[in-house]
Every structure is written in C-alpha cells, then in structure tokens.
Homo-oligomer: A and B are copies of this chain.
Amino acid sequence: MHSTQPISVGILGATGTVGQRFIQLLENHTFLRIAALGASERSAGKTYREAASRSWKQSSPIPSAVADLVVLPCKPDHFAECRIIFSGLDADVAGEIESHFQAAQFAVFSNAKNHRMNPLVPLLVPLVNADHLDVIPHQRAARGLDKGFIVTNANCSTTGLVVALKPLQDAFGPLARIIVTTMQAISGAGYPGVPSLDILGNVVPHIGGEEEKMEAEVAKILGSVRGDGGGFAPLEGLRVSASCNRVPVVDGHTESVFIEFERRPAPSVEEVVAVLRAYRPEALTLDVPSAPAHAVVVLDEPDRPQPRMDVLTGGGNSVVVGRVRPCSVFDVKFTLLSHNTILGAAGSSIMNAEIAVAKGLI
C-alpha cells in the first residue's frame, strides 16, 4: 500500500559499522535510494569498495549499487541531490557536521549522541515516541529553516529498553524505578572497536558513558511533548539505574530488567505479558515499511531470549522479551534482547525517516 515517490538519501560515516548497516538495510528499500556516501577525508575520492575494503565486516557483500559510488567529504554541497541524510558519524565530528547539514536544509537522522539531549531535537525511538516529531516545526522556526531539521535516535541499549517500558507505562501508569544490567555485543563499538584480547572469553564491566546515556535518555523518550509543541517534558519521577557490560557476542544486546510501578497493586506477570504482546505503537499504524510486524515479541521458553536465535526477529527491528516473572524486590523482572546495530542504530534511523515522510515532514 505504498505510494511514496523515491527519495534520495545520503549516508554520512558510510564506512563505519552503522554506515554499513544503513547500506545493507537500504539495499532493496521501496522508496529510499542511496544517492551519496560521505566519510572522512582519508576515504573521500575513493570508491566505496576501496574505502570500505578493510572495514566491511557484514555477512553479505557490499551491494553492487553502492560499491562504485565515489565517497565524498561530509559537506552539504556534495549532497545536493539528497533530501534525507542518515548519519553514523562518530561523536567527535558528528555534532558540527550534522548542524551544517541541518542548516543547509537537510532532514538529518542521526545515530550520534551529540544532539540527543538538545531541547528542540526529538530523541526518537520509532516504536515508542513518534509523536515527539511534533517539535520539528519549533526546531525549524528556532533555526530559521523551512526544511532542515535534526532527529536523533537513542543509544543502542536505551532503545530496546524503552520499547518494552512504553506500553507498560501507557497501560499501568507511571514507572517508579528501573534497575537494568546490560550485556552488550561488540559490534556496538564499531571497528576496530573492542580489542579481542579484552573480550575473548572475558567480560568488560564498563562501557564509557553508556549508563549515563541510558539514565538520561529514558526520561526524555518516555516523557511527553510540551503542550505548545515547543519542547519536551522529560519524565520527572522515574529513576533508572544501569550497569553496562560488554560480552563476547557479535550482535545483540541482552538486558536484565527489574521494574517497580507506582501503582498498587502492581500489575501481574500475565497482565504485563499481555500488554507487551498487544503493543501497537503509532509507527505500526503508519506507512513505515521497515517496521516489524510486532514491536515486542514475548517468548515463553524458559531460556529465552538469546542473541543466537532471536536477534533477527522482525528483521532486527523487534524487541524480544522473555522470562517475565515476579520480582521479590520490585514488581516484575524480565530479560530483553534487541539488535544493536539494526533497531539500536540504522534500523531505527530508517524507521524514523519513514515516519517523518508519513507525517509529511519531508
């Protein structure tokens, strides 16, 4: 039922792990066409095949449609034919470059952390808070733009978590406290990323900045848009405490979550499972081709979810939840899994763009 005209897109940070995922996911997209690829000065001028020769680590080869594209420097002038910009740039350069593209009237969908907490930038998890796009008109007005804007997605470990929390918040009222321990995959660290001597047969109990991001982003994402659409009202009452760890897994972040509701009596395990299974976010009601059939899939098997078997659920865009059970300290606990470079990065950016198109913002 799709009738959108083709839209040309550019990818910044095309040779990185997230850039590679964009390229993979857009290979057969119904209306988004990769027209230009941007990367560092070192890569600019080479074909993508050359530039990515040492860093392409996907299980399928570089799509022929992009292999011969000449990589460009990340400057707006080079991307004139694009309307949408997907950014997988590193945080050390993303802030400035993305602002330039925004100012040059591009619709920028970023994976970087730099603009996430900006009070006029939607921190968009496509299966959670599509309504936060209501702030775009204000963002444009504030910058004197009519077309350009920046939308960010969330940190990979935040993303899976909030997709599970949102329906519970909607159904059962405010969440009081969340404790979460993550077991994160190595692909989240890019390439060369985590040295093998650090992670082979090992656990690294620290991922720089990750816990802080989770704790801050959850509040903004689960919060609302201010009445006048002029900004966001992050959740005030919710407290989140995280412990983030790296484990020897290639793709898929596993999270052990403990939830306390404000409401008494708290919902039962059965109610929680039913709500998760029934969750149908706005994105699933719009023309969002990349959206999975189910935002949340709940498994009954006692030893699930697992990266090996569940990470590609919904094409990597579903959150898989298992082991939903009572918690003797809080109310309920469970384990969730999400694909860290698909839902956790490029997949969400793509869905965000599809939502923006569906909402007439592009």
Q: Which residues of A contact B (CB under 8 A)?
A: 17, 53, 56-61, 177-179, 181, 183, 186-187, 191-206, 208, 215, 239-241, 243, 245, 247-250, 254, 256, 258, 301-309, 311-312, 322-323, 327-330, 333, 335
Contacts of A181 in B (CB 8 A): 181, 243, 256
Contact A186 B204 (CB under 8 A): no
In the bound complex, CA of A178 to CA of B329 (Å): 7
Contact B57 A329 (CB under 8 A): no
Contact B258 A302 (CB under 8 A): no
Some 8 contacts from A to B, beta carbons below 8 A apart, are: A179-B330, A183-B183, A186-B197, A201-B249, A201-B250, A202-B249, A245-B335, A247-B247
Contact A179 B329 (CB under 8 A): yes
Known: A191-B195, A330-B179. A250 touches B205 (CB 8 A): no
In the bound complex, CA of A61 to CA of B300 (Å): 13
Q: Which residue in B183, B192, B327 is a CB contact (below 8 Å) of A195? A: B192
Contact B304 A205 (CB under 8 A): yes
Nearest Cβ on chain B to A189's Cβ, whole angstroms: 8
Q: Which residue in B195, B323, B330 is a CB contact (below 8 Å) of A205? A: B323
In the bound complex, CA of A242 to CA of B328 (Å): 9
